[in-house]
Amino acid sequence: MVTAVLLVVAPACTGDNGTPQRAAQSQSPNSENQAAGPSSSPSSSPDTPSPPRELAVVMSGDVLLHTGVWESAEADAAAQGRPGMDFRPMFASMKPVYSDADLAICHMETPLAEPGGPFLNYPIFSAPPKVVDGLRWAGINTCTTASNHSLDQGLEGLMRTLDTLDDEGIEHAGTSDSRDDARAPTILDINEISVALLNYTYGTNGIPVPSEAPWSVPIIDVDQILREAQQARRDGAELVVVALHAGTEYTTAPNEQQLEVFDALTKSPDIDLVYGHHAHVPQPFDVVNGTWVAYGLGNFVAQQSTDVPDTYRGVTARFEFVEQPDGSFEVQRARFVPTMITPASGGPMRVLNAPAALRDPDTDPALLPSLRAAITSIRADVFSLGARKHGLRMGR
């Protein structure tokens, strides 16, 4: 068992050029299309067992806003004769994926600026808050926020990010704006199932966590995570999901620290799923100690100037939990959707559901080779530790 604080030193994200939160209550906006909880089943009676409850959880990788991302949103708004930014066209391909989930989670890696900016690129990010409107429109209802860039705009920027998510009705886990919030896990009520979401980062790029707010950014510490997962169970969580911002950038294989921490966490009976982000490239899925893990989901949206093509490729994971006779939940189906980001240099960029775009007759033929290459590469990365034998499949 790992007991020390894990502090992985990794480079910061490249640019265009070049502890847990407060408890929260949230009802999935798509709940009318999902299996209802036992109390709402019209066929239930004292003599008829209620059907097992089910929960579909979808999560994507880094929301990393470089200049090319917001310039694309500006171009899309201008094309409609409107000022400002419109991120909806950028995310439209992914809306069916998120809208079909009960819990849809993004990772907000960069702090959000005031509506009027200034907006800043790598290495010290300050992202346009309008992106949150686009994510919510696409079906995202929750975001994790603990990353190596959490303190790029200081404690003020961290708190502004959380306030922006609150204003848009998006729940969040990870960074905290008060000691009381940090002491209570984020517990979401989704279709009458209580889900705890815990989020931690390896560090903050050398920016010290403010001495007056040591609780603001949760750093990876296995013992602390295990205690907080146990606390979430005591607080009523029926499912506990842990998200870790860690790994070696631009490396598809999990590093030694990831392997060690994921192994330790999956030994806990209090944790049902562990996944990660930060490497900016897709990493493998696996079953470790009987628990599903996804080591890294790559970038969801970014415009990194790098010679690593995988930074334009990502993974959106989908895990479908089903209630067991003893009241616990197990993953019945594990799926992944390969995604591809188009470059901003070719016009307003898009985040594409790669298989869907490949099937779409309206897709620009010039994109087809890149889509095929992305799918082939992502499949190889995701299956590289043998997750296929555990039942992982590509598809929504």
What's the rounded Cα separation, in Å, for the pair 280 and 396? 22
pLDDT at 166: 98
Helices of type H across the chain: 67-79, 88-91, 95-99, 130-138, 154-167, 179-183, 222-234, 256-266, 354-359, 368-382
Q: Name the one residue in this structure whose structure tokens are 């100690």.
A: 289
What's the rounded Cα separation, in Å, for the pair 356 and 1? 42
What is the distance between the terminal CA atoms of the chain, rounded to a whole angstrom? 35
Q: Which residue, 309, 306, 307, 311, is CA-closest to 296?
A: 311
pLDDT at 44: 46
| CATH code linked to domain 50-394 | 3.60.21.10
Phi-psi region of 96 (alpha: psi -120 to 50; beta: other; left: phi over 0): alpha
At a CB cut-off of 8 Å and minimum separation 6, what does 91 contact?
Answer: 134, 135, 137, 138, 301, 351
- pLDDT tens by residue, the chain, 396 residues: 333 333 333 334 544 433 333 334 334 333 333 333 333 344 445 567 789 999 999 999 999 999 999 999 999 999 999 999 999 999 999 999 999 999 999 999 999 999 999 999 999 999 999 999 999 999 999 999 999 999 999 999 999 999 999 999 999 999 999 999 999 999 999 999 999 999 999 999 999 999 999 999 999 999 999 999 999 999 999 999 999 999 999 999 999 999 999 999 999 999 999 999 999 999 999 999 999 999 999 999 999 987 888 999 999 999 999 999 999 999 999 999 999 999 999 889 999 999 999 999 999 999 999 999 999 999 999 999 999 999 999 997
